[in-house]
Amino acid sequence: MLGHGLSSSGLFRIVNIYYERLGSRRFFINRGLMLLLPTFAFLIFILTASNIAAPPTINLLSEIFLMGRIIGFDLFMLLLFPLGSFIGVVFSLFIFSYSQHGKLYNMGYGVSLVSSREIHILLLHIIPVNFLILGCYFFLTTN
């Protein structure tokens, strides 16, 4: 839950930053943002990868534990769990691709530069998600 909370809140923060700069929430208008803000495109890719439980994030460890527990509960879930995970991955990558690539519209040319405060906030979401996996032995010990 900690990994999902950090990666999802970071994604919502990036969406809010885009809304503050561009003044619109529409995907059709806000396409091609990689050309305007390449730093945010990298950060949103890292957060999207952690949201879909890509290695080395703590979300991968929790996904593996969740799969083991759900399959131990009901074998029918062996069919549903991978399908749900696959659909989630496809949706997340589609949203990233659709929002970052494409034709850039004229309204975004007056976008200000990235501030250090915004980068710092996003790094405070990314660093714990990627480095909590190094301390996962606390969760694996049995006393």
- Token pair listed for 135: 């301390």
Domain count, the chain: 1
pLDDT above 60: residue 79: yes
Q: Where are the beta strands (DSSP E) in 68-107?
A: none
**Within its chain, how far is the Cα of 104 from the centroid?**
23
pLDDT digits (tens, 9 = 90+) for 31-53: 777 877 788 888 889 999 988 88
Instruction: Please check the confidence at residue 78 and state whether its pLDDT lies above 70.
Output: yes
Q: What pTM value is reported for the model?
A: 0.79
* Structural domain containing residue 113: 2-140
Residue whose structure tokens are 């998600």: 129
> What is the predicted pLDDT for the residue at 91?
92
**Amino acid of residue 57:** T
The predicted pLDDT at position 143 comes to 55
pLDDT digit string (tens) for 80-100?
888 888 998 999 899 888 888
